[in-house]
Amino acid sequence: ELTEEGLVLRYRVQETDDGLSGEEGTFTICSFWLVSALVEIGGIHRARHLCERLLSFASPLHLYAEEIEPSTGRHLGNFPQAFTH
């Protein structure tokens, strides 16, 4: 399972030797991809809920960072992250 509090991780850092130290937040673009996938398989209610949650994490300029801390909505990593938009 690659989710944390409903948002999607790129991978589990504890299970992968990526050469980087520390933790990372959920990967914003992957969470938006999950919204699209849910719509495609008919999970409209779940997709809407996740999309609304993601939209609530937007910055005051409606931009997103590379990662989001799911419990606080804090933006982590590169900001703004172009491919999220």
For the whole model, what pTM was predicted? 0.85
| Residue 6, number of CB atoms within 10 A of its CB | 14
Q: How buried is residue 54: exposed, middle or buried, by Cβ count under 10 Å (0-12/13-18/19+)?
A: buried
30: left (phi over 0), alpha (psi -120 to 50) or beta: alpha
- Cis, bond preceding 80 (omega within 30 deg of 0): yes
pLDDT in tens, 22-70: 677 899 999 999 999 999 999 999 999 999 999 999 999 999 999 999 9
In the structure, what pLDDT confidence band is assigned to residue 73 with cuts at 50, 70 and 90?
Answer: very high
Domain residue ranges in the chain: 3-84
The confidence score (pLDDT) of residue 4 equals: 87
The confidence score (pLDDT) of residue 20 equals: 65
